[in-house]
Amino acid sequence: MALVIAGERSGVGKTTVTLTLLASLRRRDRLVQSFKVGPDYIDPMFHRHVTGRACRNLDPVLTSEAYVQQCFAGHSQLSEYALVEGVMGLFDGISSLVTCTERSRSIGHSSFAKDKGQRTNDKGQITDFASTAHIARLLDLPVVLVIDCSRLSGSVAAIAHGYRSFDPRIKIAGVVLNRVGSDRHLSLLKDSLEPLQLPVLGVMRRQDNITIPDRHLGLVPTAELPELNALIDRLADLGDTCFDWQRLLPLLKSESLSPSASSSLSPSSPVRIAVARDRAFNFYYQDNLDLLQQLGAELVFWSPLEDADIPKDIQGMYFGGGFPEVFAQQLAENSSVRDAVKTAILKGMPTVAECGGLMYLCEQIIDFEGKSWSMAGVLPTSAVMGGRLTLGYRRAVALQDNLLVKANTTVYGHEFHRSHLTLTPTQPLFETSRYDCEENMGCEGWGLPANIHASYVHQHWGESREIPQQFLKECLKVASSGMWI
């Protein structure tokens, strides 16, 4: 047993409710494992800050339905309580033209749409794949529905009834009424809900002193919030009084089992991988880092912002996404690190750079104000910030053998950025299309020099172990050649 926190739409306060629950549980010294539906990086950072445990993403597009089930089972059984934060509205998923046959030819997607009861449109496309409802069905978990009550009273019953009856397979355990204005407002809401006999598991009043700042790609990451601990304390105070814990705790309880035999792969020769992790680069799936370690890698975390040089005795580099544009001046001023990164790559250092990492390898980042800041200069292009948001799942077919995959291999990933490059690569890594239709999104990704993989497409390697294996294989070539940097 565990619990899914879902919203009736985006922006109703799922993350605030989730963090309030987690903060109150941790104050009670409860061991809790959290999960996040979808590809998001930032919400899991907040989960981890509260619980002290890495939050795990549950995304059947980036991995598979089977992996979602395995990931949840493997991690939830090691804690007392388990909580899943949903994505968007409860039934907001994607449609897909991808067939089982197509996915079987791709990396990491051995199954598709095992949930045969999924809703389809008149074209036969799956319409709620990867939604919170889909994950709740896959894991057979009850759902708590968060309703934003700031602009309604009696209509709350129609909303709750609609969500409970829309898909009978979804078990709505109760509701959390968020942004309640007054005692009178609460009375109207409860009176309206009473005929439904649907438990009110929490009531959160409007909170002017609890605000998590955001910017162009969502919430501001935890590393940039010096007052975060005080905020978490306020959430814990709120959680102690606003929830019906007598009803919630049994729902949150996880079946703690003895750890099963490790499924980790046999480590190869030790490989030291420099992983950039600081305020500028912090978008990593914990499962990717775990896989590298299971395969024998030693991860050396370092900061392109603060350190005077890249780590010594390394055989590979990994730059995740993040907000290099926000810290472009500081990155530019650290010229010794920029030069060291460029020198290492030009000497043949295998390097993976995703989104923000790709931007760092460019000649320049041009920020929202039009100011230019020098970057590592490995790629002959500049990253320009703009108002247009590029967002969505991608189906990407490799156009050539590259650092991570062979030509004609299909991988699945996610794009989320407001920058574009001034020049496109002459020999791109991928031809990309939208995941949910045949719309071609063009070619992208840099694979020259041949020891780099720089792409806007974020990948989760959970069911694609061939990718980190290939990366480490190339890193081992560095070791065998005696080239240590």
Per-residue pLDDT reduced to its tens digit, 103-160? 434 555 544 445 545 666 655 555 789 999 999 999 999 999 999 999 999 999 999 9
Where does the pLDDT of residue 240 fall: very low under 50, low under 70, confident under 90, or very high at 90 and above? very high
Buried (b) or exposed (e) across 28-59, using 16+ Cβ within 10 A? eebebbbbbbbbbbbbbbbbbbbbebbbbbbb
Catalytic residues: 355
Rg of the Cα trace of the chain? 23
Classify strands 3-7 and 143-148 as parallel, antiparallel or unpaired: parallel
Condensed to tens digits (0 to 9), the pLDDT of residues 249-284 reads 999 998 755 444 444 444 455 799 999 999 999 999
Say whether 108 sits in a helix, a strand or coil: coil
Condensed to tens digits (0 to 9), the pLDDT of residues 389-429 reads 999 999 999 999 999 999 999 999 999 999 999 998 999 99
Where does the pLDDT of residue 101 fall: very low under 50, low under 70, confident under 90, or very high at 90 and above? very low
Could you check whether the bond before residue 449 is cis, i.e. omega within 30 degrees of 0?
yes
pLDDT of amino acid 258: 46
- Determine if residue 170 is left, alpha or beta; phi over 0 gives left, psi from -120 to 50 gives alpha, anything else beta: beta
Torsional sign, CA 320, 321, 327, 332: positive
Cβ proximity of 215 and 221 under 8 Å:
no
pLDDT of amino acid 172: 97
Query: For 362-384, what is the mean pLDDT?
Result: 97
User: Nearest Cα to 185, choosing from 152, 216, 218?
Assistant: 152
pLDDT of amino acid 217: 77
Q: Lowest mean pLDDT of 72-81, 83-92, 204-213, 216-225, name the range.
A: 204-213
Half-sphere exposure of 204 (CA within 13 A, CB side): 30
Condensed to tens digits (0 to 9), the pLDDT of residues 352-370 reads 999 999 999 999 999 999 9
Number of H helices, E strands in the chain: 14, 22
Residue type, 212: I
pLDDT of amino acid 210: 78
Could you please report the per-residue DSSP string of 222-235? GGG-TTHHHHHHHH
pTM equals: 0.91
Query: Residue 202 pLDDT more than 60?
Result: yes
Which token pair is 239? 């959680």
Condensed to tens digits (0 to 9), the pLDDT of residues 24-40 reads 999 999 999 999 999 99
Cβ proximity of 196 and 160 under 8 Å:
yes
